[in-house]
Amino acid sequence: MEIRILAGLTAIVLVLAVWTGPARSDDEIEVEDVTFTEEILNDPEAIKVGAEIWHDQCTHCHGAKAYPGKAPKLRPRQYQPGFVFHRITAGFKGMPPWKDVYTLEERMALVSYIMSKSFSP
């Protein structure tokens, strides 16, 4: 009897988990349309602000130099700035979205740092 009840409850939980899905997907988060010029990407002040955000927040998952950490190793030389910005803003898989945490300027500064020569994963 107990096995039937346990099996039934397990089935209900699985159905609810599949039916409800994730609470929020990155497709639902509106990402601003921004252009990363060389001036923005090479702005020393933006890189400094981005570095502060990286060290204060991102290293918890990505590690001090983007590896080793709980999150995958970053390969910024293989990315375009817009791709990095979208991931920061909307999140991806286990990474939360940061749109409601950091301003547009702060997220752009973080991209400038990640894409800079100062950043070394």
Supply the pLDDT for residue 87. 95
* Strand, helix or coil for residue 55: helix
Residues in the chain: 121
User: Is the confidence at residue 78, as pLDDT, over 90?
Assistant: yes
- Name the pTM for this structure: 0.73
Burial of 88 per CB tally in 10 Å (0-12, 13-18, 19+): buried
- Please give the C-alpha separations between residue 5 and each of 9, 11, 15, 16, 19, in angstroms, as whole numbers: 6, 10, 15, 17, 21
Range with lowest mean pLDDT among 19-33, 86-100, 102-116: 19-33
Domains in the chain: boundaries: 28-115
What average pLDDT does the structure give for the chain?
Answer: 81
Q: Which CATH superfamily is domain 28-115 in?
A: Cytochrome c-like domain (1.10.760.10)
Cis peptide before 68 (omega within 30 of 0): yes
